[in-house]
């Protein structure tokens, strides 16, 4: 019922149009009854009684009714098509907006292929239901009912005999409905898995080729493809088991009519014309019963799809916006961590992290891979919420700030760079679409990207491929850095941003970045000492804990993890003279 309510919320906007459509369906169903009746009348009056004069008017009525019926049917079919397209347009938009509100946790645990399957296959099942199934259920129900009434009107005895067979057909149809339903859910689930395999294969095609794993990938796809085929066959098996039974009882109607009706004509209890009329209506009894199978099939598909869509829509983001957020349009950038701990699904990643950064200061975070550096900055952006402790910006708990306002104040150049398949200019101005070309060029210059961008024949208008295909690792990093800079935030986060550029370029970037960062709070995550040595505060993370903190000089004096990294990176440099170095 809940499923239907969600669907009805979309459909109710078109209720008057739907009602008009159903009325036209009713008109067409009624008109369908006219022709068999006239055909029977032609037999009785023209062929048997010889009233040739009525032939032309009766034939004209048949042609007129047929033409009119076709026109009306075309009209309401088009109307249903429009309603269904409008409806799924809005449904897609709602689901898409809902997806935008989902947090990292949702995308960590949901396969892209699954989401794509819902937005395509499942939405299409809803379209088909709205455009075709609703009016067909109504049409078939009416056609059947009117045919029964008409047969009663022509010959009540014959009607009772034919009707005795129909409950058997209804029972078979009902049993089929219950048996086939789970198989449709299974098909839709498997379709999602198949989609995920394809999607991952396409996104990861470079890795596949680099490892020459094409055959393995084909096998992986074949397994899912095979399962998809099996699920469809399972459903067809149930279908094929019941369909002949349905067909058998449906054709029984014609057989009974010919035998019983024939005997009644011979005994003069029924005229030949009446037999022809009833025979004409047998189609109107038969067809809805046969169609019932298909319609049940489509209704099951619809319910399976709507169930999956509603599950997606009911998925509540874990990162919630506060009911009454504290307004902070522009923050100064005073960031404070107080005893912050965080787990990824019960696995502790950050433990009791405490530190403070003042506006204009630069904090560097270093530490072995997997020590929790990126996680720490993810918490500042509220991509995840910490399990205990507090993170404050300008003395306000970030959980009390509006999520959008918080993120508007932060610009991050993430470790896992994502560039859109757009122009270079479009990518750089992503966070500040109103920026002028001059500002875009300025950001590119600070990120030391201007020169290589200008070297492309189409400069800033160069379209880059999906995820930045066509650019080197270092070029991608510099475009991502320019994108973050152009946002001109109060808090700038650079997660491994210069790891792929050479030392000289890195030096140039840090030099040009310095004046830009003067009034900002900057977080730099890096493995190279050269990237972090000028920071006001360096935090050394290990196993989710801050194990060392201080400036470059102070940390070298401590001769701990930082000192070891420095020593390794400096090679033959005389590290005994560290006092002089700093
Ligand atoms: N989305 C996630 N779900 C579950 N665990 C995660 C997730 N992201 C990271 N982790 C785990 O959290 C720990 C810290 O990861 P994080 O990315 O913060 O490390 P890092 O210090 O940034 O490492 P690197 O220097 O390699 O970038 C790792 O053990 C990692 O496996
Ligand atoms: Mg990281």
pLDDT tens digit sequence for 549-578: 999 999 999 888 999 988 888 764 555 444
Q: Ligand 1, atom 2: nearest CA belongs to which residue? A: 344
| CA–CA dist 422, 108 (Å, integer) | 25
Question: Does residue 77 line the site of ligand 1, with CB under 6 A?
Answer: no
Ligand 1 pocket, residue 225 CB under 6 Å: no
Ligand 1, atom 7, residue with closest C-alpha: 344
Place of tokens 């042609």: 63
Of the bound ligands, which one is closest to the alpha carbon of residue 541? 1
Q: Is 543 helix (H, G, I), strand (E, B) or coil?
A: coil
- Nearest CA residue ID for atom 10, ligand 1: 344
Which of the listed residues 346, 349, 367, 417 should we mutate to test ligand 1's pocket, taking the one with most ligand atoms within 8 A of CB?
Answer: 349
Contacts 24+ apart (CB under 8 A), 423-428: 423/460, 423/461, 423/462, 423/463, 423/464, 424/453, 424/456, 424/459, 424/460, 424/461, 424/462, 424/464, 424/479, 425/460, 425/461, 427/464, 427/468, 427/479, 427/483, 428/460, 428/479, 428/482, 428/483, 428/486
The answer to whether 552 touches 535, Cβ cutoff 8 Å, is yes
Ligand 1 neighbourhood includes 374 CB (under 6 angstroms)? yes
Residue 267 CA to ligand 2 centre (angstroms):
93
Pocket lining: 166 vs ligand 1, CB cutoff 6 Å: no
List the domains of the chain with CATH numbers. 2-314 (1.20.1560.10), 410-488 (3.40.50.300)
Tokens of 49: 């009684």
Distance separating alpha carbons of residues 76 and 268, to the nearest angstrom: 43
Which strands make up the sheet holding 396-397, listed edge to edge? 347-357, 335-344, 388-393, 396-397
Report, as ranges of residue numbers, the positions in the chain whose pLDDT lies below 50.
572, 576-582
Q: Which ligand is nearest to the CA of 379?
A: 1
Please tell me the number of the ligand nearest to residue 348's CA.
Answer: 1
Query: Which of 318, 348, 370, 545 maximizes ligand 1 atoms within 8 Å of its Cβ, making it the mutation to test the pocket?
Result: 370
Which residue has a Cα nearest atom 20 of ligand 1? Answer: 370
Name the token pair of 71. Answer: 């026109």
Q: What are phi and psi of 541, to 5 degrees?
A: -100, 140
Please state, in angstroms and as integers, the Cα–Cα distance from residue 15 to each residue in 10, 19, 129, 463, following that order: 10, 6, 15, 46
The answer to whether residues 247 and 290 touch, using CB atoms and an 8 Å cutoff, is yes
Q: What is the chain's alpha carbon radius of gyration, rounded to the nearest angstrom? A: 36
Contact yes or no for 456/486 (Cβ under 8 A): no
pLDDT in tens, 68-82: 999 999 999 999 999
Note the helical H segments in 388-502: 403-408, 424-428, 437-446, 450-455, 473-486
CA of residue 571 relative to chain centroid, distance? 51
Q: How far is the CA of 525 from the centre of ligand 2 (A)?
A: 8
Using the structure block, give the residue that is written with the tokens 């270093």: 366
Burial (0-12, 13-18, 19+ Cβ within 10 Å), 544: buried
Distances (CA, A) of 354 to 339, 373, 391, 429, 539: 5, 14, 9, 34, 10
């Amino acid at each position: 019922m809940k499923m239907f309510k969600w669907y009805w919320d979309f459909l109710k906007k078109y209720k008057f149009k739907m009602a008009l459509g159903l009325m036209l369906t009713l008109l067409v169903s009624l008109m369908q009854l006219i022709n068999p009746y006239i055909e029977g009348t032609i037999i009785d009056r023209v062929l048997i009684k010889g009233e040739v004069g009525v032939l032309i008017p009766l034939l004209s009525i048949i042609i007129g009714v047929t033409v009119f019926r076709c026109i009306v049917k075309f009209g309401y079919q088009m109307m249903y098509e429009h309603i269904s397209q409008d409806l799924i347009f809005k449904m897609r938009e709602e689901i898409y907006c809902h997806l935008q509100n989902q947090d990292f946790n949702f995308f960590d645990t949901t396969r892209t292929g699954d989401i794509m399957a819902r937005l395509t296959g499942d939405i299409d099942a809803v379209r088909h239901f709205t455009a075709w199934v609703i009016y067909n259920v109504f049409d078939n129900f009416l056609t059947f009912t009117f045919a029964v009434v008409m047969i009663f009107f022509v010959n009540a005895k014959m009607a009772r005999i034919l009707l005795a067979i129909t409950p058997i057909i209804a029972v078979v149809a009902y049993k089929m409905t219950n048996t086939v339903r789970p198989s449709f859910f299974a098909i839709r689930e498997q379709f999602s898995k198949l989609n995920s395999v394809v999607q991952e294969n396409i996104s990861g095609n470079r890795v596949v080729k680099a490892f020459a794993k094409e055959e393995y990938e084909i096998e992986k796809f074949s397994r899912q493809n095979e399962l998809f085929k099996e699920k469809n066959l399972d459903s067809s098996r149930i279908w094929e088991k019941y369909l002949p039974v349905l067909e058998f009882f449906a054709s029984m109607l014609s057989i009974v009519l010919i035998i019983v009706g024939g005997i009644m004509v011979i005994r003069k209890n029924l005229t030949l014309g009446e037999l022809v009329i009833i025979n004409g209506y047998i189609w109107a009894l038969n067809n809805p019963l046969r169609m019932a199978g298909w319609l049940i099939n489509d209704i099951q598909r619809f319910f399976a799809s709507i169930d999956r869509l509603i599950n997606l829509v009911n998925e509540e983001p874990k990162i919630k916006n506060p009911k009454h957020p504290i307004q902070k349009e522009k923050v100064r950038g005073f960031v404070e961590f107080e005893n912050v701990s965080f787990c990824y699904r019960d696995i502790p990643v950050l433990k009791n992290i405490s530190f403070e950064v003042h506006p204009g200061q630069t904090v560097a975070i270093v530490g072995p891979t997997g020590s929790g550096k990126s996680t720490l900055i993810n918490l500042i952006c509220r991509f995840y919420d910490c399990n205990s402790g507090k993170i404050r910006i300008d003395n306000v708990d970030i959980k009390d700030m509006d999520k959008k306002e918080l993120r508007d104040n932060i610009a991050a150049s993430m470790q896992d760079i994502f560039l859109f398949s757009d122009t270079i200019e479009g990518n750089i101005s992503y966070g500040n679409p109103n920026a002028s070309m001059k500002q875009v060029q300025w950001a590119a210059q600070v990120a030391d990207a201007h020169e290589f961008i200008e070297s492309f024949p189409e400069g800033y208008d160069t379209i880059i491929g999906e995820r930045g295909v066509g650019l080197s690792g270092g070029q991608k990093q510099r475009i991502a850095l320019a994108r973050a800079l152009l946002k001109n935030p109060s808090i700038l986060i650079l997660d491994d941003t210069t790891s792929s550029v050479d030392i000289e370029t890195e030096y140039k970037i840090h030099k040009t970045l310095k004046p830009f960062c003067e009034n900002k709070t900057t977080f730099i995550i890096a493995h190279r000492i050269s990237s972090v040595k000028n920071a006001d505060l360096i935090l050394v993370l290990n196993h989710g804990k801050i194990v060392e903190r201080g400036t470059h000089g102070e940390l070298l004096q401590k001769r701990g993890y930082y000192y070891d990294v420095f020593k390794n990176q400096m090679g033959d440099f005389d590290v005994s003279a560290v006092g002089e170095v700093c």
